[in-house]
């Protein structure tokens, strides 16, 4: 079943520049699609357009159908109902994606209460469950902490817990590991992988990092200047790139890898 159906999505600024150009792709339920591209390629805008959250001044045209709801041009009320329930987002920078003045527990409690209608002690224990599911040690302490009082990796786990609290059909991960240390990156990816598999969630994984996308997703789509240059099974895209742009990306990644191999073999 098709969960997300994007057809001819085009995003333009107020002064007429085209940032996403006639983009089409689908994500089936339970499927994992990687969106690859460097900064400025329009991948983050695509994720925002899927939720009808484009920055002011930008307009989307074309069609975005999320779980049967047309997003482009939908009224705010319908969008609010769709967001969280059908798709939730984990952002790149967990420090700025968490409210600095709100305790972590309350930030997770918000979407959780809206979805489940829980209150009081039941809500509290559900929040602690949510924190435990993302393998946070000492959830009681974390729930009471402000975002600046926990580490970067812990913050991203909290952000993940917030997104999962919505129990969305589609999880949109917008560069979820880019801002993290390499060792923490691997942990978060494994966690994301397990949690999504357990819940049979669909994933739209946005990243500039080929290796990360190859690890998490089944299918990949390469974006350049807002256009799709290549799409296919992730192993084909990474193993035998057809588009010249994808080749450059893969070669770049391989050069780095080779440098690492060379150093470690010495």
Partner 1 sequence: MTPADLLTRAPAPARRRGRSVTLAVGVTLAGLIALLALVSLVWLPYATDDTSGGRLAPPGDGHLLGTDKLGRDLFTQLMTGSRIAVEAGLGSVAIAALIGVTLGVLAAFAQGWLDDTLAAFLDILIAFPTLLLAMLVVAARSATLGSAVLAIGLAQSAVVARLVRILVKRVLAEDYVTAARTSGTSWPRTVAGHVLPNIWPTLVVNLALQFGLAVLAEAGLSYLGLGAPPPNASWGRMLQEAQATFTTAPAGALAPGVLLVLLVVGVNLIADGLRDTLDPATRGRRS
Please say which residue, 102 or 235, places its beta carbon nearer to partner 1. 102
Q: Which of 38, 138, 140, 149 binds partner 1 (CB under 8 A)?
A: 149
Taking the complex as a whole, how short is the minimal distance between the CB of residue 169 and partner 1, in angstroms?
13
Residue 110 binds partner 1 (CB under 8 A): yes
Does the protein bind partner 1 through residue 176 (CB under 8 A)? no
Name the CA dihedral angle for 14, 20, 26, 30, rounded to a multiple of 10 degrees. Answer: -90
Asked whether 57 and 19 are in contact (CB, 8 A), the reply is: no
Out of 59, 73, 146, 255, which residue is the one contacting partner 1 (CB under 8 A)? 146
Contact with partner 1 (CB under 8 A): which of 60, 72, 163, 201? Answer: 163
Which range in 64-72, 86-94, 119-127, 176-184 contacts partner 1 by CB under 8 A? 86-94
Q: How far apart are CA 12 and CA 248, in angstroms?
A: 27
Q: Does 118 bind partner 1 (CB under 8 A)?
A: no
The residues, ordered by sequence, that sit 6+ positions from 21 with a Cβ below 8 Å of its Cβ are: 10, 42, 225, 226, 227
Size of interface with partner 1, in residues (CB under 8 A): 35
**Lookup result for tokens 């990243």:** 207
**Residue 152 binds partner 1 (CB under 8 A):** no
Compute the distance between CA of residue 235 and CA of residue 29 in angstroms, rounded to an integer. 20
Q: Which of 15, 16, 101, 183 binds partner 1 (CB under 8 A)?
A: 101
Sign of CA dihedral 112, 117, 120, 125: negative
Per CB under 8 A, contacts with partner 1 among 3-42 are none
Give min distance, CB of 75 to partner 1, in A: 12
Binding residue for partner 1 (CB under 8 A) from 100, 117, 120, 121? 100
Choose the stretch contacting partner 1; rule: CB under 8 A; options: 35-43, 84-92, 216-224, 240-248: 84-92
Cβ 97 to partner 1 shortest distance, Å: 4
Q: Does 53 bind partner 1 (CB under 8 A)?
A: yes
Q: Is 85 in the site for partner 1 (CB under 8 A)?
A: yes
Asked if residue 166 binds partner 1 (CB under 8 A), the reply is: yes
Chain residues binding partner 1 by CB under 8 A are 48, 51, 53, 56, 76, 80-85, 87-89, 91, 93, 96-102, 110-111, 114, 146, 148-149, 159, 162-163, 165-166, 172
């Amino acid at each position: 079943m098709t969960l997300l159906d994007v057809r001819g999505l085009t995003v333009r600024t107020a002064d007429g520049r085209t940032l996403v150009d006639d983009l089409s792709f689908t994500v089936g339920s339970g499927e994992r699609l990687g969106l690859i591209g460097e900064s400025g390629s329009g991948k983050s805008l695509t994720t925002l357009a899927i939720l009808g959250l484009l920055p002011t001044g930008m307009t989307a045209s074309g069609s975005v159908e999320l779980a049967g709801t047309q997003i482009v041009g939908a009224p705010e009320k319908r969008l609010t109902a769709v967001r969280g329930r059908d798709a939730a987002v984990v952002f790149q920078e967990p420090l700025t994606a968490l409210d600095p003045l709100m305790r972590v527990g309350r930030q997770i409690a918000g979407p959780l209460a809206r979805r489940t209608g829980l209150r009081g002690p039941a809500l509290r224990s559900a929040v602690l469950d949510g924190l435990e599911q993302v393998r946070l040690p000492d959830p009681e302490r974390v729930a009471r902490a402000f975002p600046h009082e926990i580490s970067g990796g812990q913050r991203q786990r909290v952000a993940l817990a917030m997104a999962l609290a919505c129990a969305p059909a589609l999880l949109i991960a917008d560069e979820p590991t880019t801002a993290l240390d390499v060792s923490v990156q691997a942990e978060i990816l494994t966690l994301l992988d397990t949690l999504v598999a357990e819940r049979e969630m669909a994933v739209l994984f946005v990243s500039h990092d080929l290796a990360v996308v190859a690890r998490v997703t089944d299918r990949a789509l390469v974006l350049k200047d807002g256009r799709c240059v290549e799409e296919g099974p992730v192993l084909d895209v990474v193993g035998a790139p057809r588009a010249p742009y994808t080749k450059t990306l893969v070669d770049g990644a391989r050069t780095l890898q080779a440098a690492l191999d060379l150093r470690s073999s010495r």
